[in-house]
Amino acid sequence: MAVQYSRGLHEVAEGCWAWFEPPGSWGLSNSGLVKIGAELLVIDTQNDVGRARDLRGAAVEIGGEDAITTVVNTHNDGDHWFGNMFFEDARIIATTAAANAMRTLPIDPRRLAEVGRAGTALQRWSHWRAEIFDYECWRPVFPAETFDGTLKLADGAVTLHEVGPAHTLGDAIVHVPDANVVFSGDILFHRATPIVWAGPVSNYVAACDAVLALEPAVVVPGHGPVATADGVRETRNYLVHLLEHTTRCVAAGVPPEQAYRRFDPGEYRLWPHASRAFQSILAIYAEFRPELVSLSWEESMEIVLADDAS
Ligand SMILES: [Zn+2]
């Protein structure tokens, strides 16, 4: 079925819905709902108070006030779990690695406007985020239940597969076999440039392969419109291309910033957020030549954001 990429809830298969937040750029993520009997599973809880409240409202309209029994956070990026406070009465699950990373809370969203020095692209970015996301009365609610490897829910009606470290330290995907749907979290940024916070990139490629091995008819990405396996293949191809280029640069002793300036994304050059490649290239250098990586998070994000024309 054709699924419009517009804000709100859209049925993508029998008993499966995607919640979209176009245009899917920084922090504007998707969520999912799966109906299992009379119960509802929520996948990722949105980035802020307003969006989480809207998502909960839409879920209650489908299943009723008591239907939301289980929540899965696919990884530790805030746009996938900051809304947990609206689902506190449910069983909230993440991988052990993701749950541990959440507790470090590298950026407290209530203090977002303080991130970045005056006049920097990072400061413009954090101010933009502080304006469009609402963290008034926000508080962190961490997953109470963790798993490693795989976890079956509702007698196998849903299976969680840990595929990280890839995009982040503890990525998971959610498979609904009867509906032939995978909720991929940020293993897929559909029709946009992926970003590798953790890596290794080879494991991110393997995570794409893990999604493809399930032969899904529908993939709900972490950001962007609904996809099929083709969207996952494109991201896989991009990552392999990036890895090949960067591996050559690593072998030649080229500094990471030059490796980034020389990178041609080829057929993927029109994807938004092309400059995310810099962060991903740094992740590859951190794996093979860590002595060549000297930038702080603020310094590397400054390059990513200053070049981000999207
Ligand atoms: Zn995300």
pLDDT digits (tens, 9 = 90+) for 188-224: 999 999 999 999 999 999 999 999 999 999 999 999 9
The model's confidence at residue 113, banded by pLDDT at 50, 70 and 90, is confident
Asked if residue 297 is part of any domain, the answer here is no
On whether the CB atoms of residues 228 and 215 are closer than 8 A, the answer is no
pLDDT higher than 80, residue 97: yes
Asked if residue 188 is part of any domain, the answer here is yes
Asked if residue 291 is part of any domain, the answer here is no
State the average pLDDT for the chain. Answer: 95
Provide the number of structural domains found in the chain.
1
**From ligand 1's centre to the CA of 204, what distance in Å?**
15
The model's confidence at residue 105, banded by pLDDT at 50, 70 and 90, is confident
CA neighbor of 135 nearest in space, from 120, 113, 116, 117:
113
Taking each helix axis from N to C terminus, what angle separates 121-132 and 297-306, rounded to the nearest 10 degrees? Answer: 80
Asked if residue 256 is part of any domain, the answer here is no
Mean local confidence (pLDDT), 69-79? 97
Read off the CATH number of the domain in which 25 is found: 3.60.15.10
Range of the domain at 218: 8-230
144-142-62 Cα angle (round to 5)? 80
301-302-304 Cα angle (round to 5)? 60
pLDDT computed for residue 2 by the predictor: 86
The model's confidence at residue 112, banded by pLDDT at 50, 70 and 90, is confident
Determine the 3-state secondary structure of 63 from DSSP.
helix
pLDDT computed for residue 107 by the predictor: 81
On whether the CB atoms of residues 154 and 138 are closer than 8 A, the answer is no
Q: Comparing 85-89, 140-144, 296-300, which segment has the lowest mean pLDDT?
A: 296-300
CA distance to 76, 81, 106, 128, 296, per residue, from 137 (Å): 20, 15, 19, 19, 30
pLDDT computed for residue 1 by the predictor: 64
pLDDT higher than 90, residue 294: no
Task: Give 291: exposed, middle or buried? Use CB within 10 Å, 0-12, 13-18, 19+.
Answer: exposed
Asked if residue 201 is part of any domain, the answer here is yes
Distance, in Å, from the CA atom of 26 to the CA atom of 223, rounded to the nearest integer, reads 9
Structure tokens at 37: 């009997």
CA neighbor of 173 nearest in space, from 158, 154, 192, 194:
158
**From ligand 1's centre to the CA of 167, what distance in Å?**
9
**From ligand 1's centre to the CA of 198, what distance in Å?**
13
Asked if residue 293 is part of any domain, the answer here is no
pLDDT computed for residue 20 by the predictor: 98
**From ligand 1's centre to the CA of 245, what distance in Å?**
25
The model's confidence at residue 225, banded by pLDDT at 50, 70 and 90, is very high
Q: Comparing 25-39, 50-64, 104-118, which segment has the lowest mean pLDDT?
A: 104-118
**From ligand 1's centre to the CA of 210, what distance in Å?**
19
pLDDT computed for residue 34 by the predictor: 98
pLDDT higher than 80, residue 66: yes
**From ligand 1's centre to the CA of 79, what distance in Å?**
6
On whether the CB atoms of residues 198 and 165 are closer than 8 A, the answer is yes
pLDDT computed for residue 85 by the predictor: 97
**From ligand 1's centre to the CA of 75, what distance in Å?**
8
Distance, in Å, from the CA atom of 242 to the CA atom of 168, rounded to the nearest integer, reads 17
Task: Describe the strand order of the beta sheet including 16-20 as a list of residue ranges.
Answer: 8-13, 16-20, 31-36, 39-43, 68-72, 91-95, 145-147
pLDDT higher than 70, residue 87: yes
Asked if residue 294 is part of any domain, the answer here is no
On whether the CB atoms of residues 283 and 168 are closer than 8 A, the answer is no
pLDDT computed for residue 106 by the predictor: 77
Asked if residue 156 is part of any domain, the answer here is yes
